[in-house]
A and B are shown apart, each in its own frame.
Chain A
């Protein structure tokens, strides 16, 4: 599984960012290779409008299977992510990335259900 975390800093020790589209960074963790890559999200965070849907595109480019974030995407971004079949976990906005990962592993995060 490839996991994408919305974060404030470009590191595994960073705090999570509750915002989805305008998060500063995306920390990507590939469980198979145990590799971490960092996506600097400044371009999308600085969009005047529609940061959310652009972030959904970025998630497709990063090949994220799972997104872990705070409030969760807005209606437009969610529509795209649902079509992509991405799994979204929310409520991790006030954790560190490593604690958010732990919470995900232990099934303590709320899964965003499609409707």
Chain B
């Protein structure tokens, strides 16, 4: 089983649209994992059934036992996050502000404060509208993605892929270059970089490639909206050549991306034969590189 991770560094380059398009081309033979949990939106295109749900706990949150609390206020005094309010005669934790550092629990003399595991969201295993398996997650309000959650959904995806002898796992990677991205990349066989010919597109591509290079994972790049700026597009192509990154495809700007999205379709389903051809060719190139 081979694992492809799609990342972009910069937002809005078409990463998720392209990931979903690859998933729709692959249909049942592959499994899809959504690690872009901060703003998970691949479910809008692939319409999974949310069949199996499990709560996800990560980090801690303080809880005050009113029966033990003497209302001394030491906890509120030491809290660096202003997360303890005095309301209706009691000290209460504002869970959105609490960072789970545990300082309050440490200074509380009657030990009225307990640090509990924080429920941050849930992860799901689903069937998509194509009948393929998908592992994805949803965060609660105010919760943030973490390397832990990414590792969890990838591990579940891998287990399903191995059990069902799938040849490929397609991962919609996390944004940025931090902990969740490192966790997305770990164990991958191929990284697909999706970028666009803008200065920030090029800048963020270079930045995220530093992380990919560190893990020595083979990389390829799709330049989406390639005809928007010929100068920057040429700079990106030059960078790909310097770094020996496989130049998978240039996809010219097309409104089909937003039209397909509005209709809840993947771009390869949407009736634009030229775009469909470019995506199919990209997928073939990637599969050949991976030998699947």
Contact = CB atoms under 8 A, between A and B. Distances in A.
Interface string B206-246: 00000100111100000000000000000000000000000
A75 to B, nearest CB: 6
Size bracket, chain A contacts: 20 to 34
B146 interface: yes
A45 B214 contact: no
Given A47-B148, A48-B59, A72 B216 contact: yes
Main secondary structure of the interface of A (DSSP, over half): loop
Interface string A72-115: 10110010000000000011010000000000000000100000
Contacts of B148: 22, 45-49, 51
Contact of B187 (A18, A46, A47): A18
B146 A20 contact: no
A21 B183 CA distance: 9
B147 interface: yes
Interface residues of B, number: 17
A95 to B, nearest CB: 14
B98 interface: no
A71 B216 contact: yes
A14 B182 CA distance: 24
Nearest to A71: B215
Contacts of B147: 21-22, 47-51
Contact of A52 (B146, B182, B187): B182
Contact of B186 (A19, A46, A49, A91): A19
Contact of A75 (B186, B187, B214): B214
Interface of B: 58-59, 146-148, 151, 179, 182-183, 185-187, 211, 214-217
29 contacts: A18-B186, A19-B151, A20-B186, A22-B147, A22-B148, A22-B151, A22-B186, A45-B148, A45-B151, A46-B148, A48-B59, A48-B146, A48-B147, A48-B148, A49-B179, A50-B179, A51-B148, A51-B183, A52-B182, A71-B185, A71-B216, A71-B217, A72-B215, A74-B182, A74-B211, A75-B214, A91-B216, A93-B187, A110-B216
